[in-house]
Chain A
Amino acid sequence: MVNGRSRLLGEVGGHVTLLEWLRSAGYTGSKEGCAEGECGACAVLVARPDGESRSRWTAINACLVPAAGLDQQEIVTAEGLGRPTALHPVQAEMATRGGSQCGYCTPGFVCSMASEFYRADRRPTGRIEPAPSAEPNGGARRAVRDPGVESADDPAAPGSAPDHEHGPNGFDLHALSGNLCRCTGYRPIRDAAYALGAPADDDPLQVRLQRPAPEPAPTRISSGQGDFARPVTLSEALTLLADHPTARLVAGSTDWGVELNIRHARTELTIAIDRLAELRELNVSDDFIDIGAALSLSEVERGLAGRIPLLAELFPQFASRLIRNGATLGGNLGTGSPIGDSSPALLALDASLVLARADGERTVRLADYFTGYRESIKEPDELIRSIRIPRPLAPVTAFHKIAKRRFDDISSVAVAFALWLEPGEPGRQMVTDLKIGLGGVAAIPLRAFGTEAALIGKPWDAAAVAVAAEVLGGEGTPMGDHRASAPYRAATLRTSLLKFFAHHQSPNRTEVTA
């Protein structure tokens, strides 16, 4: 279904992206700007599950996902939101406020904005309530900060105090973080977003949300453009994988889509696993939090609702909303990239991975998982089923991302801290445990074991931190490249501990998390 009308998908193979398919079918509203999920000019809306019985209009990059993966799904493009003579409210605000100049990025912006327009929990208030948290005082962590100290790299997350990145109508500006505009300078687009009211009760797209999203369709296509399969059960998927160990597994396809478009990688068989129910569970127990590997990062973010403050701090810095709507933790770990932003945080959380294959499952610690550049101990016939995070969580955590651009950039360096403190001598805090995950400073994501050892058992004070910071500055083997020089990577490793300490040095704040 495209824009409310059934369209025959045809024999499209695994190499045909949704964007190519849409454009060849005459829907030219979605544009190719970069073909790697960075610019959002191709953004469209798809109906995705929102709990058991509702749907959510979810904006994704059409340039990354295989068209076959949308078999029997519902897609809305900018053309489907409104017509020049009957503009959608989002389109009307964008048009009248000067939100378009050259207009090329505009349909993508309109789709991202419409997704936020229809978000059910968007509340028309100037104030966003802190997210509920299962951890002690987790929701209050920002309140005790000096906003000036933190703000230079502290993109507001849902749950933060009202700021210029949230509109009085509850619009989260990060919904547009995956859309690039080269003309406007963004101000009129922000104004358009913040001027939006609530959808009308009889708005057909609003009405549509009251019903469940389309079920995933079992799909099997053979084509000259590569084969495509969407199995409906995990065991079916594992059998398929066992038979085709070179097949490409895709969930959000946010990494494979880039390989496909930019490096022209090809595969005989693409297997979509993003809708496998077994990979989409989120279970919270006293001992663990298990996160399904095929939940999108947006779904994890909503599902956790701030329960893991370190991840809550990570999510807004992880690529863009368009990417997070497709990308999964399983994919981020499965590709094994040394600059994937989830690895450092999950290392600091001492996460384990549940790996599944046709003949059973095994659980491995993430710290033991990576073996080399984009290599891991995962066998070709295995897939990541879930990510297991042990509880209790560290009471003090932080995620530092060093990048050129604040929104939607790839890390030069990423550092995640998880710290346990206990009162020692009067007026002193002792470090009882510390886990530090690092990204971008070696061929694989690393634990900073040396730094951890230098601080554990030591007082949490400036002298001990200064010594440990020098150790941290020597961790890994940072390289110089177009993102950052090797000395800068090493220097920001060092200063990241100093910064962490500067924000968490008060001796009387054991109750404060992160």
Chain B
Amino acid sequence: MSKQHGPLADRPVNPKVGLEIPHESADLHVTGAALYTQDLLARTKDALHAWPVQAPHAHAKVVRLNVQPAHDVPGMVKVLTAADVPGLNDAGEKHDEPLFPSEVMFYGHAVCWVLGETLDAARLGAAAVEVVYETLPSLIGVREAIAAGSFQGSRRTVSRGDADTALAGAAHRFSGEFEFGGQEHFYLETMAALALVDENGQVFVQSSTQHPSETQDIVAHVLGVPAHAVTVQCLRMGGGFGGKEFQPHGLAAVAALGATLTSRPVSLRLNRTQDITMTGKRHPFLAQWEVGFDDDLRLCGLRATLTSNGGWSLDLSEPVLARALCHIDNAYWIPDIHVDGRVAKTNQQSNTAFRGFGGPQGMIVIEDILGRCAPLLGVDPQELRRRNFYSPGQRTPFGQPVRHAERLVEIWQVLNERAEVTARRREIAAYNASSPHTKRALAITPVKFGISFNLTAFNQAGGLVHVYKDGSVLINHGGAEMGQGLHTKMIQVAATALGVPLSTVRLAPTRTDKVPNTSATAASSGADLNGGAVKNACDQIRERLAVVAAGKLGIHPDDVRFVDGWATGIGFHDQRLPWATLVHDAYFQRVQLWAAGFYRTAGLHWDAERMQGEPFKYFAYGAAVSEVEVDGFTGAYRLLRADIVHDVGDSLSPLIDIGQIEGGFVQGVGWLTLEELRWDESDGPHRGRLNTQAASTYKIPSFSEMPAQFNVHLYEKATESGVVYGSKAVGEPPLMLAFSVREALRAAVGAFAPPGHSVELASPATPEAVFWAIETARAAADGTVSVPVSAIPARV
């Protein structure tokens, strides 16, 4: 057994981590046997259905609410209003999100909820509720909020050195603005909760939630009961992506309230339209910036203001903004920097966590800056990026050393070779020379992403491991499964730690009465945290069993090894004990066969006000090369090939990790190219309405967006010391690899223009956006327009 990486990172002989195994529920998924919250309804007798009364105004006072007409609807059972709330009328923890509001804050805001014997009865009941509104002025979009001075929460600044002096002395200086869109989660399973109350008043809520403990907390405070009176279970989610980190709570509370008041099970499932119109999305941002480069084309200063559109309430907007500020550097050393951040308050859905949690919104700003400035500096963007990479020993603007910065260069080199970048650049140049109407281009971009919750307290987890007398193992942990393969990895961790076959381990659904006070399954940290806790529990059991085995084998407990279901000693294998026998014997020796595990990430500290410290356990690295082809007639494009090298440490589960990388990449491509949220910004009667509120109008990637050639490689020999079995988190970082597609589109547009033309590209870069960028590029080629006005070289 190797000891070079410390006890948490070391892998024993024949580990079950690192095996390429399918998702633990794959057989259930493919046969339709896997159950999701709403599927439980078919097994629940006499459940009522909930339907919201959604306001048709972006901002209005509820002057009068008359629920009486709803009672004339056959099958309508009860209208839930603020008057029914025994506890706190709040769907969050910041007291800025009334569950039953008296003031409508966005178009589609649920004013009250109607319970019916059938969904149709609830819907018709909701339609019968009379609400009189007094409309109020509304703010839609971040620019309207800025103009009105409408902000919420704390303003934060990340700063190092003297940005103004650095900019004043820069050899090359540019300024610009970049407004980019948000992203709907579009988890295939919409929000769902099913609540029951047992004979003793115990409330049991099945919820599609990434944060069962917080769902429990909110349900408890709405009902006005202690947390111990509420149990939340999550079997699995049909996708979460951050969208179910904060916003399932209020919906679960509505279902629980209904169940409490009617003594019947209550099912609440948002249909797609309700889900898109009521729940928050990835924050759109406006970035305003000024950047300086020295004579060697190295970044010497950056001053920027990031304004996010938080929507009507704070939700997770503050930590999302903090992560954006902490990632504006991406992979680049910026010695003097000053970045201000603020959250706009608007009359839109309350924006929330989404894979990357502000990281993508910070990183896209610097990538956009480099992509726009490279032609003005007369340098290849790839060279400009590489030249500005962090070197080992340098620190981020918030003061954290960039450990393993050398991996950026190594990954860059490996990727360039694997993707045959040099040869393909020649082919592309030849193609473009002979193709007037379509152009191709490739681009390569890096990712550096900090892992851990910025808020240090969240970096803890619990696990519960039972070994039964027959040797079978049941594990439970605080993380929720949303498709990311967390449960698969936890089974592998437990089997590795106990030295048993995978089939010996079974995993029980996540629920708050098994493991309490859990953190959200978020920040990519699920495997790191829960893996640490599960391993800790297993280690305790294994150590107790080692004592029993040592007695049998006549050796010292330290010399006992557990491999593939056998206990044996180091160095000799002629004597060994079957796992089940050992467990059986241990029971009769009255040895505790179960354990609660705990894990807290060591070494973290963070001053949230000064935005300084070491909030991250480590950084995940990666890079991607993407090649696109753009049609000059329409702006339509195709992703021809993508190559990725990504650092997951020593993978716990390679099939799972590659799935996360590919899926994150394509989801990022969707955000940057296709997925467009459009609100009614007119002064008409539907001002504030989301116009893209269905799968037919909000398009997520389909097969047509998958790269024709897609090669993903895990960075090798990447052991991460201090993390469970040497692995690294993988959920979020790969999303940002999709910047390579956006930059490739920029380069392909640039191929329609003369050299030195800076391409401004809207985000998302829809075919229409690409078309207009090409028109501008062509105009530059005709000499009718010079460089875009907002990227003006201030000094050369």
Name A residues whose Cβ lies closer than 8 Å to a Cβ of B: 23-24, 26-36, 38-39, 41, 77-79, 81-85, 87, 90-92, 94-107, 110, 148-149, 151-153, 155, 163-165, 173, 176-177, 179-188, 190, 258, 262, 264, 400, 402-410, 412, 481-485, 488, 491-492, 495-496, 498-499, 502
The listed residue (A24, A99, A180, A498) touching B30 by CB distance below 8 A is A99
Nearest B-chain residue to A94, judged by Cβ: B30
User: In the bound complex, what is the Cα–Cα distance between A495 and B273 (angstroms)?
Assistant: 35
User: In the bound complex, what is the Cα–Cα distance between A262 and B275 (angstroms)?
Assistant: 13
Nearest B-chain residue to A502, judged by Cβ: B437
21 pairs of residues in contact across A and B, judged by CB atoms under 8 Å: A78-B31, A79-B33, A100-B30, A103-B30, A105-B188, A106-B34, A107-B31, A153-B634, A176-B703, A182-B663, A182-B700, A183-B663, A186-B703, A264-B123, A402-B636, A403-B767, A405-B704, A408-B702, A410-B696, A492-B771, A496-B633
- Is B659 at the interface (CB under 8 A from chain A)? yes
Annotate B673-717 by CB proximity to A: 1 below 8 A, 0 otherwise.
010101000000000000110111101111111101110000000
A91–B30 CB distance below 8 A: yes
- Is B161 at the interface (CB under 8 A from chain A)? no
- Is B182 at the interface (CB under 8 A from chain A)? no
The listed residue (A98, A149, A412) touching B22 by CB distance below 8 A is A98
8 new A-B pairs (CB below 8 Å) besides A34-B695, A264-B123? A28-B35, A87-B30, A100-B483, A110-B31, A185-B664, A185-B706, A187-B710, A406-B705
A499–B28 CB distance below 8 A: no
The listed residue (B22, B271, B634) touching A492 by CB distance below 8 A is B634
- Is B386 at the interface (CB under 8 A from chain A)? no
- Is B656 at the interface (CB under 8 A from chain A)? yes
List of B residues within 8 angstroms of A163 by Cβ: 708
CB distance from B408 to the nearest CB of A (A): 24
B30–A182 CB distance below 8 A: no
The listed residue (A34, A94, A103, A183) touching B34 by CB distance below 8 A is A103
The listed residue (B239, B629, B667) touching A185 by CB distance below 8 A is B667
User: In the bound complex, what is the Cα–Cα distance between A185 and B735 (angstroms)?
Assistant: 11
A26–B42 CB distance below 8 A: yes
Knowing A151-B629, A152-B629 are in contact, say whether A29-B31 is a contact too (CB < 8 A): yes
Chain B contacts with A in 21-45, Cβ cutoff 8 A: 22-23, 25-36, 38-39, 42
List of B residues within 8 angstroms of A179 by Cβ: 702
A185–B663 CB distance below 8 A: yes
CB distance from A496 to the nearest CB of B (A): 7
List of A residues within 8 angstroms of B187 by Cβ: 102, 104, 182
- Is B268 at the interface (CB under 8 A from chain A)? no
CB distance from A201 to the nearest CB of B (A): 23
User: In the bound complex, what is the Cα–Cα distance between A82 and B28 (angstroms)?
Assistant: 10
Chain B contacts with A in 174-192, Cβ cutoff 8 A: 185-190
User: In the bound complex, what is the Cα–Cα distance between A106 and B656 (angstroms)?
Assistant: 16
List of A residues within 8 angstroms of B697 by Cβ: 410, 482-483
Knowing A103-B34, A177-B703 are in contact, say whether A36-B656 is a contact too (CB < 8 A): no
- Is B254 at the interface (CB under 8 A from chain A)? no
User: In the bound complex, what is the Cα–Cα distance between A87 and B630 (angstroms)?
Assistant: 42
A104–B188 CB distance below 8 A: yes
CB distance from A180 to the nearest CB of B (A): 6
- Is B388 at the interface (CB under 8 A from chain A)? no
B702–A180 CB distance below 8 A: yes
B674–A405 CB distance below 8 A: yes
Q: Is the interface of B mostly helix, strand, loop or mixed?
A: loop
Nearest A-chain residue to B694, judged by Cβ: A36
Nearest B-chain residue to A498, judged by Cβ: B633
Q: How many A-B contacts if CB must be within 8 Å?
A: 276
B35–A34 CB distance below 8 A: no
B238–A104 CB distance below 8 A: yes
Across the A-B interface, the 5 shortest Cβ-Cβ residue pairs? A29-B32, A102-B483, A104-B238, A103-B29, A152-B631
A183–B709 CB distance below 8 A: no
List of B residues within 8 angstroms of A182 by Cβ: 185-188, 239, 241, 663, 667, 700
Knowing A100-B30, A177-B704 are in contact, say whether A402-B634 is a contact too (CB < 8 A): yes
B30–A153 CB distance below 8 A: no
- Is B492 at the interface (CB under 8 A from chain A)? no
- Is B167 at the interface (CB under 8 A from chain A)? no
B659–A184 CB distance below 8 A: yes
CB distance from A8 to the nearest CB of B (A): 17
List of A residues within 8 angstroms of B666 by Cβ: 184-186
Name B residues whose Cβ lies closer than 8 Å to a Cβ of A: 22-23, 25-36, 38-39, 42, 123, 185-190, 236-241, 271-273, 431, 435, 437-438, 482-485, 629-631, 633-634, 636-638, 655-656, 658-659, 662-667, 674, 676, 678, 691-692, 694-697, 699-706, 708-710, 766-768, 771-772, 775
User: In the bound complex, what is the Cα–Cα distance between A412 and B658 (angstroms)?
Assistant: 35
B704–A35 CB distance below 8 A: no
List of A residues within 8 angstroms of B701 by Cβ: 185-186, 405
List of A residues within 8 angstroms of B775 by Cβ: 491
User: In the bound complex, what is the Cα–Cα distance between A491 and B633 (angstroms)?
Assistant: 9
List of B residues within 8 angstroms of A165 by Cβ: 703
Nearest B-chain residue to A34, judged by Cβ: B695
The listed residue (B25, B273, B694, B706) touching A187 by CB distance below 8 A is B706
Knowing A82-B31, A182-B241 are in contact, say whether A173-B708 is a contact too (CB < 8 A): no
B708–A482 CB distance below 8 A: no
List of A residues within 8 angstroms of B634 by Cβ: 152-153, 400, 402, 492, 495-496, 499
Knowing A24-B42, A36-B695, A482-B692 are in contact, say whether A404-B704 is a contact too (CB < 8 A): no
Knowing A77-B32, A182-B241, A185-B662 are in contact, say whether A100-B26 is a contact too (CB < 8 A): yes
A180–B188 CB distance below 8 A: yes
User: In the bound complex, what is the Cα–Cα distance between A99 and B674 (angstroms)?
Assistant: 23
List of A residues within 8 angstroms of B189 by Cβ: 31, 33, 102, 104
User: In the bound complex, what is the Cα–Cα distance between A484 and B767 (angstroms)?
Assistant: 9
The listed residue (B22, B33, B665, B699) touching A83 by CB distance below 8 A is B33
Knowing A102-B237, A152-B637 are in contact, say whether A177-B702 is a contact too (CB < 8 A): yes
A482–B636 CB distance below 8 A: no
A84–B695 CB distance below 8 A: no
Knowing A152-B438, A187-B710 are in contact, say whether A100-B702 is a contact too (CB < 8 A): no
List of A residues within 8 angstroms of B633 by Cβ: 492, 495-496, 498-499, 502
User: In the bound complex, what is the Cα–Cα distance between A26 and B39 (angstroms)?
Assistant: 9
A406–B662 CB distance below 8 A: no
List of B residues within 8 angstroms of A184 by Cβ: 659, 662-663, 666
Nearest A-chain residue to B483, judged by Cβ: A102
Nearest A-chain residue to B668, judged by Cβ: A185
User: In the bound complex, what is the Cα–Cα distance between A187 and B708 (angstroms)?
Assistant: 9
Nearest A-chain residue to B764, judged by Cβ: A404
List of A residues within 8 angstroms of B768 by Cβ: 404, 412, 484-485, 488
A404–B766 CB distance below 8 A: yes
The listed residue (B26, B662, B674, B706) touching A404 by CB distance below 8 A is B674
User: In the bound complex, what is the Cα–Cα distance between A30 and B31 (angstroms)?
Assistant: 10
List of B residues within 8 angstroms of A99 by Cβ: 26, 30
User: In the bound complex, what is the Cα–Cα distance between A36 and B273 (angstroms)?
Assistant: 10
List of B residues within 8 angstroms of A31 by Cβ: 36, 188-189, 238
B636–A149 CB distance below 8 A: no
The listed residue (B31, B239, B241, B637) touching A104 by CB distance below 8 A is B239
List of A residues within 8 angstroms of B25 by Cβ: 100, 103
User: In the bound complex, what is the Cα–Cα distance between A91 and B22 (angstroms)?
Assistant: 12
CB distance from A158 to the nearest CB of B (A): 16
List of B residues within 8 angstroms of A28 by Cβ: 32, 35, 39, 42
User: In the bound complex, what is the Cα–Cα distance between A107 and B36 (angstroms)?
Assistant: 13
A95–B22 CB distance below 8 A: yes
A103–B238 CB distance below 8 A: yes
Knowing A39-B188, A482-B676 are in contact, say whether A34-B32 is a contact too (CB < 8 A): no
List of B residues within 8 angstroms of A258 by Cβ: 696
List of B residues within 8 angstroms of A496 by Cβ: 633-634
User: In the bound complex, what is the Cα–Cα distance between A102 and B30 (angstroms)?
Assistant: 11
Nearest B-chain residue to A103, judged by Cβ: B29
CB distance from A259 to the nearest CB of B (A): 12
User: In the bound complex, what is the Cα–Cα distance between A410 and B190 (angstroms)?
Assistant: 23
User: In the bound complex, what is the Cα–Cα distance between A103 and B702 (angstroms)?
Assistant: 16
